[in-house]
A and B are shown apart, each in its own frame.
Chain A
Amino acid sequence: MRPESAAIIRDVLQYIERYGNSAADSPAAERDFGALALQLFAFQCEHNAAYRNYAKIKRKLPGQLHSWREIPPMPIQGFKRSALSCEPPEEALAVFTTSGTTNPELRGRQYHPTFDVWDASMRTGFRRFVMGSVPRLRTLVISPAEDLNANSSLSRYLSQAIRFFGTDGSGTYFRHDGLAADELIAGLQDCERSGEPVLLLGATFAYVPLLDRLQELDVRFRLAPGSRILDTGGFKGQSREVPMDWLYGQFEERFGVPRSGCVNMYGMTELCSQYYDDTLASGKPTTLKRGPAWLRPLVLDPHTLLPAPDGQVGVLAHIDLANWNSCVAILTEDLGVMRDGGFELLGRIGGAEARGCSLAVEQFIRSNEGNA
């Protein structure tokens, strides 16, 4: 690893250490965040030609910026096109890829030369938003962990959650052939009997078939107080779509975990840090997402891609200091709105529909796929 990389990693780790538990909006955190974000951007422009050239075309090279808010966010489609890595991509310890549901050939890739920063970010954020003052919990994972998918950021996240915060009885219940529901049920019954609080972790869509199965078997748990349920990622067409309120209602009914014990995580392969809703941290149910001090959202006006005023719906961009090796700022295809220092996630931004008889992009893609 080049010495500049080691130096920047040190700076990011220091920031995480310093501001890990403090509110993101303290003036010092904000000032240091801005300085470090610009420093990271300059580092990336020096060592990542694809990002530098993109910034150059957009006339946003490091010397041309006045604030971290002006860092040109890399569109997530950029992660599909180029190896966005400051360190040589072929030397990466791991490469996380996006699920590539639309085109498996074209997956976004995030290169990880080391996991030092990723782990520090994950651990600090998880502690604040999920664990609180509890050091460890019996952690049961219902989605594929890293033993099944070495290229998934979520899988690694789930495995690390067990390593960092799981008690001995923790484990993963997703196997090559799917969810081991019976084993999971036995595990939960065990927890119920012993009165040990549980932390259930999984993709949002993974809970739907599990709940269906519990209903089929007419099984209900009264998990111990302090039990928590984390879901992430929405449905993505992987299960039937259900309203989140229904899901939370079911969590209470089937597991005995109240809404105030549930947390939704928002993460992406293209990010090395995660947002969470504040429910567990504050004890008040909310869908507003917040991140740790080194991860900040911007809502951009879809018409100009410039920061939108609070309260206006726009496209989400994220500035993540933990993305030291790829791009410190990324542009998503998610809609959101800023409120009370957090943001509300409003789903994917739609494609452009032609207003009448002209051919729309979606239609053309469909007809070509039909052809193939």
Chain B
Amino acid sequence: MTAPGRGEGDMNKAIKQEPLQVQAYFLPPGIEADVTVAARFDTPDGPAELLVPALNEDKLRSIADELKRRREEYLASLTTADVVERIAAAAERWLDPAYPHRQLAERLLPGLTGYAADSIRLQLKRYMRTFRKKELLRFIGEELDDPLMLDEFRPRKSGGFSRAYGPELIFHVFSGNVPGVSLWSLAMGLVARSAQLGKTSLAEPLMAVLFARSLAEIDPRLAEAIAIVPWKGGSRELESAAIASADAVVVYGGGGTVESVRAIVPAGKRFVAYGPKASVALIGREALTPDRLNGTVARLAADIAHYDQQSCMSPHCVYVEEGGSVDARSFAAYAAAELGRLQLRWPRSALTDSEAYAIHDVRNRYWLEEAEGGGAAVYASPGGTDWTVIYRDVPGFDVSPLNRTLVVYRCRSLEDDAVPALASCGREGLLQTCGVAVHPQRLFGMAERLGRIGANRLCPLGTMLQAKAGWHHDGRFNLIDLLRFADIERGTEDDAEQYDPDFE
């Protein structure tokens, strides 16, 4: 007799698996919506489907009304300390590798976004650490001398009292390029005591939903003031309805997205946009000594590989100074080898036809330049488009087609060659992070020059994707831009004393 079981088990596995259904939305209690499947994708455990609610203008308006009501009932009465504690408690859960939502995110995001699972795992936990209580306090403290201003009228150094109010309802338009980028915006909105209506992108609608669920685990009533709904961007009807209900609009995304939303926000309504930005790396000769070279290359390559350069903090190009132990051309070859190694560790996501062709197009451009005897060289992954490093012997600035395409510019001096090359990008307001590797004596001079042309963040190589608590997001604020202030002018409180009948 043969032993039963094993063969049958194998048979069962072969049967087509029911897809895992993933709710890509988060609605306040009492709001019902018809649900449809918006997208299918693969996970290590089999196929999955994203469920999204069917929305129309009326439905969205009723969601917004419900959010405002629930905010008024509860969230508005919480103190800053209450809110910070709750957000931090939710984030702490995410820092436990066994936390079910984290595990779900780690299983679903690779199939959904295409980014390598190990890279996502690493980036997510680094990111979640920025929501610890100490970091949140730093953030608020950075922008408000007295965070209690969010709770009550507080005395001012110049006399009088002030209090800060957040919007009743914030409408967020999130981008889908970097998993979880939505969470900061939500956290800041909650600190402002605002109800949150978040429109996610179908490219990554998950993290905002999972984090809202975590908040609900900590404090269900707080989470009742949050709704996360994905829809395809550019739906005028839905966006207009959301904007009409909200008193502040926050947009993340490319130029097209920002402009299309800006066009329908009435003048006078608070509008905060985090539009398209480019970042670069600058490497001084002192970071190219024989003992530092490998580390420098590895840190730069990691900044390129994580999220396939899709973050606005990811470098498009690097300026490599002459005079180190290797020249810029050899540096390009080293960077190519390191990207080749990282391809094995964190494979690049699959690209669309046009994304792939854009990389070939850039390679061809510089191959042609090389063929003409121009000072270019191309180091390219064999076969496909996994990675590309282009060496150019004159500093310039060109936007990379991304997806692990790096331009290495040789320059004699970072200060004299690289900064001028970046000036036009900076003046357009398009330059954001500069990952730098320079001697301390040069750092402040570099910062001054880069700051002047428009850069707004200098950071170490290898951490370009991890902005620290308190950073000036795109050169602006995170919280203050959402707030309005009410003052009790100096003297008013003294004047009020005379109306006390007991006043002498």
Contact = CB atoms under 8 A, between A and B. Distances in A.
A54 B255 CA distance: 36
A360 interface: yes
Interface in A321-372: 331, 333, 335, 349-361, 363-364, 366-368, 371
Interface stretch (A36-44, A74-82, A257-265): A74-82
B484 interface: no
A349 B278 CA distance: 24
B426 to A, nearest CB: 12
B175 A355 contact: yes
A352 B355 contact: yes
B368 A356 contact: no
A302 interface: yes
Given A356-B253, A356-B254, A357-B274, A81 B372 contact: yes
Given A302-B354, A304-B384, A315-B357, A356 B178 contact: yes
A53 interface: yes
20 contacts: A50-B368, A53-B370, A81-B372, A303-B385, A305-B360, A349-B353, A351-B401, A352-B401, A354-B254, A354-B276, A356-B176, A356-B178, A356-B201, A356-B310, A358-B277, A358-B312, A359-B316, A363-B256, A367-B430, A368-B428
Interface of A: 50, 53-54, 56-58, 75, 77-78, 81-82, 302-305, 313-315, 331, 333, 335, 349-361, 363-364, 366-368, 371
A246 B201 CA distance: 36
B254 A357 contact: yes
A368 B424 contact: yes
B364 interface: yes
A354 B313 CA distance: 13
A53 B374 CA distance: 12
A358 B353 contact: no
Contacts of A313: 353
Contact of B361 (A57, A75, A82, A303): A75
4 nearest CB pairs, A to B: A356-B177, A356-B175, A352-B358, A53-B371
Contacts of A366: 255
B365 A77 contact: yes
B367 A359 contact: no
A270 to B, nearest CB: 14
B401 A361 contact: yes
Contacts of B430: 359, 364, 367
A358 B255 contact: no
Contacts of A303: 351, 353, 356, 384-385
Between B176, B310, B357, B359, the greatest number of chain A beta carbons within 10 A of the residue's beta carbon is seen for B357
B440 interface: no
Contacts of B383: 304
Nearest to A80: B368
A108 to B, nearest CB: 12
A364 B383 CA distance: 29
A302 B356 contact: yes
Given A53-B372, A352-B357, A359-B316, 19 more contacts: A54-B367, A56-B371, A57-B370, A82-B372, A303-B356, A314-B353, A349-B357, A351-B358, A354-B177, A354-B276, A354-B402, A355-B177, A357-B277, A359-B277, A359-B312, A363-B255, A363-B399, A366-B255, A368-B428
Contacts of A358: 177, 254, 276-278, 309-312, 314, 402
A87 B492 CA distance: 90
Given A357-B177, A358-B314, A54 B254 contact: no
Contact residues on B (Cβ < 8 Å of other chain), bracket: 35 or more
Given A354-B177, A356-B176, A77 B364 contact: yes
Contacts of B359: 352
B471 to A, nearest CB: 15
B252 interface: yes
B369 interface: yes
B425 interface: yes
A343 B355 CA distance: 23
A31 to B, nearest CB: 29
A360 B254 CA distance: 8
Contact of B252 (A78, A357, A359): A357
Interface in B299-321: 309-312, 314, 316
Given A75-B364, A349-B354, A359 B278 contact: yes
Contacts of A350: 354
A52 to B, nearest CB: 8
A364 B353 contact: no
Interface in B185-228: 201, 203
Contacts of B309: 358
B275 interface: yes
A224 to B, nearest CB: 45
Nearest to A314: B353
Interface in B413-444: 424-425, 428, 430
Interface in B327-384: 351, 353-361, 364-365, 367-373, 378, 383-384
B276 A357 contact: yes
B253 A357 contact: yes
Contacts of A77: 361, 364-365, 368
A288 B367 CA distance: 33
A318 B296 CA distance: 44
A234 to B, nearest CB: 18
Nearest to B359: A352
Nearest to B201: A356
Contacts of A335: 353
A82 B425 CA distance: 28
Contacts of B371: 50, 53-54, 56-57, 82
B37 to A, nearest CB: 22
Contact of B428 (A331, A354, A371): A371
Contacts of B201: 356
Nearest to B354: A350
A361 B354 CA distance: 13
Contacts of B277: 357-359
A302 B357 contact: yes
A353 B256 CA distance: 10
B351 to A, nearest CB: 7
Interface string B3-16: 00000000000000
Between A78, A315, A353, A358, the greatest number of chain B beta carbons within 10 A of the residue's beta carbon is seen for A358
Between B353, B371, B402, the greatest number of chain A beta carbons within 10 A of the residue's beta carbon is seen for B371
A294 B478 CA distance: 63
Contacts of B356: 302-303
Nearest to B427: A371
Nearest to B355: A352
A315 B356 CA distance: 11
Contacts of B354: 302, 349-353
B399 A361 contact: yes
B312 to A, nearest CB: 4
B399 A364 contact: yes
Contact of B399 (A305, A349, A360): A360
Given A57-B370, A361-B399, A354 B357 contact: no
Between A50, A78, A335, A361, the greatest number of chain B beta carbons within 10 A of the residue's beta carbon is seen for A361
A175 B365 CA distance: 38
B357 A357 contact: no
Contacts of B364: 75, 77-78, 331
Contacts of A78: 364, 368
Given A303-B384, A361-B399, A355 B310 contact: yes
Contacts of A355: 175-177, 203, 310
Contacts of A359: 276-278, 312, 316, 399, 430
